[in-house]
Structure 1
């Protein structure tokens, strides 16, 4: 019956071990943040879509897990932080987190990934010290079978870190991080020393590490326990016991009940090895009682298991049954007092919420990404349509401009046949009157004039000097022909630089021709023709002034064909001016007026904007 009862109780304990969550209270006095608070902060940052704060909170939560001993979770959250720092291009933060990933991977004995992470941190680091630290650690892991090489790489890191900690330009919070790194390096050195069976050196390395964690009680306790473990391995139980008892006293003074419970278990183990079982049992019972009072279910189980194991080894089932009875009696109290169970349950809910928020954020990001891709596609399509439309408009504008230039050229050439016809008539007249010398002279001047006109026929604008050269030859020809009918003058403002000032090509000749052929030619007596270039503000005014018979009388004398030609000559000028204004975005003006009685004649005024380049 007693055996059945014991079996039943063992079954209950087994079931409980599956359901009771392990408690590991966070005591990071430096961070002063609990698991639940870290989760709450993370929830807020994810909910507000603040990537930088989210990365910081992932890192903080990973550190909480790291101190709690849940290295897999720590690695998971460090990697999430690393992803966000990469996205945000935060090089320093990414370097730090990637190194943390390497460290938790190393503690999980995932050596190949740890080496890769250390090397990655070294590659992305933007300062020489971080590069060397990470590459040294990568090489240290590559030399696990060579403790001497490992120690060399660790010593190199210690030297780097200690030099940096003395740098006055380093900010205080960074100095704290450097101290942690130095302490970790000394712990690694101690482990390398132990691998080389150099116990004294290992203890010295642990003691050096203690110098850098004086303000971190939890880390100091861990290192002191490691020293005690070394002494136990060397069968120096008195030294190990001294360390554990000192830690126990400190825990009691500081009312650090969790540490007190654990140290009682450590002390009990030494007592058992030291052949003092009574003291060992007493320490375990104290540990069990305190754990029960404080609702620390994990340590209740640990203390209970160690006591039962001892009693079983001694064949004392009665004491085991009494312990289980006591445990069952206080079971409800333990569960009610164990805040870790509530915290773990809350965290499970929060973790699910975090996952849900992450999924929602990922979905939102995906929707935004799709929307952005659509917007980019739409913008790209519109841009292509705009470019296509612009090219069409440009092509149409080019065609329109080309057509205008063709029309302009056509209008210029339209004046030439009439001029050629009149000139050939003059040659014919000289020949019929047996004036061969005049005919030869006329033909020579005419050929030079035509050559100049042909050379400039494709130009919309020419310099005043070139235009004057042609007009002088033209007027000389007409004067040779009608020398008894008129005299002419050409005046140019001294302020005008005729070489670099431009006017429309072939726009004056038709009006000079009209003045001679339809005004001065029919005047009784000799008339006068004036061609004048005058500089006005930002423009040049060209005046053709004759004292011929005037527009009205000339119109009465003309044949129907002559009327059509004169009308076409004026229309041609107006059309050319309109095209020039459109093509070159300028304001050329044209006017023709008849002088009032008693004066006779016509005044043509053409105003051109001052041009020094075409």
Structure 2
């Protein structure tokens, strides 16, 4: 009956120990504020970055918090926050950070024996790595996990990583690689190499106290497995002494528990009980309820095995008496509850961030759609403007062609009238000669009829043929001269087509043919200040007297001819931006006649 009661009391105590959070909630208000830890700083920084929606800082703080959990041995939480950091780094396209966190994620997954995911992430980290050495390190780890059943093969990859990591001067990872080598050696039952590897790991882990303690405990375990208990106990006692000096109470408790375990294996239970009681008293005094429970369970187990119910009951009574004080002083419970509340706030901030991101995405989508629509409208407007401009240009070209052809009927009429006159006067030879020259001229004009500009030599040839025809008809009325400036390359310089001929025609028909004596028509092409100046000069009767002699029909025709020329020059200037100009002036007395001056830039390409 007494043994049953003892078990019932112990069960109740365990139930009280597990839901400690309830008691902790009541006691938090009574506790003074805890000093800031690395964990609390990481949490605070994460809250701030989430509140500001600073994606870069959010990623960095997720990674920092994950590393803090990793240092505390909470691999599950570390994995959760590494994944969040990885998501943010991926969004920011920070490849180096993404590579580093992917490798860290693979490590915590390996710690949790989730080898499939770990292998995949090691391979991803390798594919992301920009450095060949870093790529090789990650692929070695992936292959090491793939060959777990072959320790000898694993050793090859571990040794390769040790050398690569040394070259990269990554001391922390060198220490981890030596630990892997030690574990691999233990698989191969080579304890001496394992101990040597652990000692090498200590050299590279000297700036990480927690890692040093863990490695030394592993060395002690190797000695204990080989029944070298004194060496193992010596290591634990040295760690205990260092923890006492540093006032690291949690490490003191752990080392006392380890020493007790070794004494039990060494079959010295009294010394083991002394260590356990010391660990229990320290855990109770420092408010570490979890370790107090573990130590109490170990003591009860021993007393049960010895049938010493009296000691067990004494421990229970002591535990019950100090229970409230233990719970109230348990900083781990307060920290856990604080973090639980803070984590809830983090979750809320993450939800708010997600909503903000969704709103930003929707806004950006709308903005892109709006921008795309505007660009489409601009393109459509540009297309319409371009089409209208093309139509306008085409219309100008058609108008220019129409104006150019408008000059021909009058010339054709005059030419045919000349042929008729030769026939009526029985001048058959002159008529034939005139028709031959006329046909040659018309052929040239037809060939060039679709061109706005032709070369100077062709224009001179065409104008000479025209003047020859007119001279054949009015040979007793005028002579003509054509001169081209030596500085002008007649083959490469271009001039407007059919701009000069109408003015030559006007000089002959309205000035020179009315003279009582033989006149002179001069056509000059000059290069002046990089411009081509065309001068048409005659010594005919002049503009004033010509106007007096003209019939109304001739006046209308001449006016139309001048307007035609002006319109053509205007269209050429609009289409080709050539700044062509012309001016007609009458010579001053006592001289008679007219001067036409046409100016256009030196044109060598069309």
- TM-score, normalised to structure 1, is 0.91
Q: Which of 80, 103, 107 is equivalent to 1:103? A: 107
Q: How far did 1:471 drift?
A: 1.0
The answer to whether residue 489 in structure 2 is matched with residue 497 in structure 1 is yes
Change in CA separation of 1:509 and 1:163 when aligned onto 2, cut-off 3 Å: closer
1:27 aligned residue: none
2:521 aligned residue: 529
Give the match's secondary structure for 2:511: helix
Distance 1:5 1:232 in 2: 34
Q: Which of 54, 57, 67 is equivalent to 1:53? A: 57
Distance 2:551 2:403 in 1: 23
Q: Which of 277, 283, 302 is equivalent to 2:275? A: 283
Distance 2:573 2:132 in 1: 69
Distance 2:553 2:73 in 1: 113
Give the match's secondary structure for 1:534: strand
Give the match's secondary structure for 2:525: strand
The answer to whether residue 252 in structure 2 is matched with residue 260 in structure 1 is yes
Q: How far did 1:353 drift?
A: 2.4
Distance 2:184 2:482 in 1: 109
Distance 1:370 1:444 in 2: 81
Please give the root-mean-square deviation of Cα atoms over the aligned residues, in Å. Answer: 2.3
Q: Report runs of 4+ in structure 1 exceeding 6 Å deviation.
A: none
Give the match's secondary structure for 1:311: helix
8 Å Cα contact 1:6-1:321 kept in structure 2: no
Provide, for residues 156-184 of structure 1, a one-character-per-residue CA deviation record: whole Å limited to 9, x for no partner.
Answer: 2223333444xxxxxxxxxxxx2222221
Alignment of 1:434-449 (within 5 A): 434-449=426-441
Q: How far did 1:3 drift?
A: 5.3
Alignment of 1:341-380 (within 5 A): 341-380=333-372
8 Å Cα contact 2:20-2:333 kept in structure 1: no
Q: Which of 235, 238, 250 is equivalent to 2:230? A: 238
Distance 2:545 2:368 in 1: 73
Provide, for residues 443-469 of structure 1, a one-character-per-residue CA deviation record: whole Å limited to 9, x for no partner.
Answer: 222121111111111110112221111
Give the match's secondary structure for 1:247: helix
Give the match's secondary structure for 1:542: strand
Aligned residues: 594
Q: How far did 1:312 drift?
A: 2.6
Give the match's secondary structure for 1:230: helix
Distance 1:602 1:588 in 2: 20
Q: How far did 1:329 drift?
A: 2.6
Q: Which of 91, 96, 99 is equivalent to 1:92? A: 96
1:560 aligned residue: 552
2:218 aligned residue: 226
Give the match's secondary structure for 1:66: helix
Provide, for residues 250-272 of structure 1, a one-character-per-residue CA deviation record: whole Å limited to 9, x for no partner.
Answer: 22222221111111111112222
8 Å Cα contact 1:20-1:297 kept in structure 2: no
Q: How far did 1:531 drift?
A: 1.7
1:570 aligned residue: 562
The farther-off stretch of 588-597 and 301-310 is: 588-597
Give the match's secondary structure for 2:481: strand
8 Å Cα contact 2:459-2:497 kept in structure 1: yes
Q: How far did 1:8 drift?
A: 4.2
Q: Which of 87, 90, 105 is equivalent to 1:83? A: 87
The answer to whether residue 197 in structure 2 is matched with residue 193 in structure 1 is no
The gaps in structure 1 that reach 5 residues or longer are 24-31, 166-177
Q: How far did 1:5 drift?
A: 7.2
Provide, for residues 81-137 of structure 1, a one-character-per-residue CA deviation record: whole Å limited to 9, x for no partner.
Answer: 222333333333322221211111111010111111111112111222222222121
1:144 aligned residue: 148
8 Å Cα contact 1:36-1:346 kept in structure 2: no
Distance 1:439 1:13 in 2: 138
Q: Which of 258, 262, 266 is equivalent to 1:274? A: 266
1:336 aligned residue: 328
2:172 aligned residue: 180
Q: How far did 1:408 drift?
A: 0.6
2:136 aligned residue: 132
8 Å Cα contact 1:241-1:270 kept in structure 2: yes
Distance 1:594 1:236 in 2: 132
- TM-score, normalised to structure 2, is 0.93
Distance 1:216 1:461 in 2: 88
1:17 aligned residue: 18
Distance 1:595 1:210 in 2: 114
Distance 1:289 1:327 in 2: 10
The answer to whether residue 240 in structure 2 is matched with residue 248 in structure 1 is yes
The gaps in structure 2 that reach 5 residues or longer are 25-35
The answer to whether residue 298 in structure 2 is matched with residue 297 in structure 1 is no
Q: Which of 313, 317, 333 is equivalent to 2:305? A: 313
Give the match's secondary structure for 1:521: helix
Give the match's secondary structure for 1:39: helix
Distance 1:423 1:16 in 2: 127
Distance 2:400 2:130 in 1: 68
Q: Which of 110, 116, 119 is equivalent to 1:115? A: 119
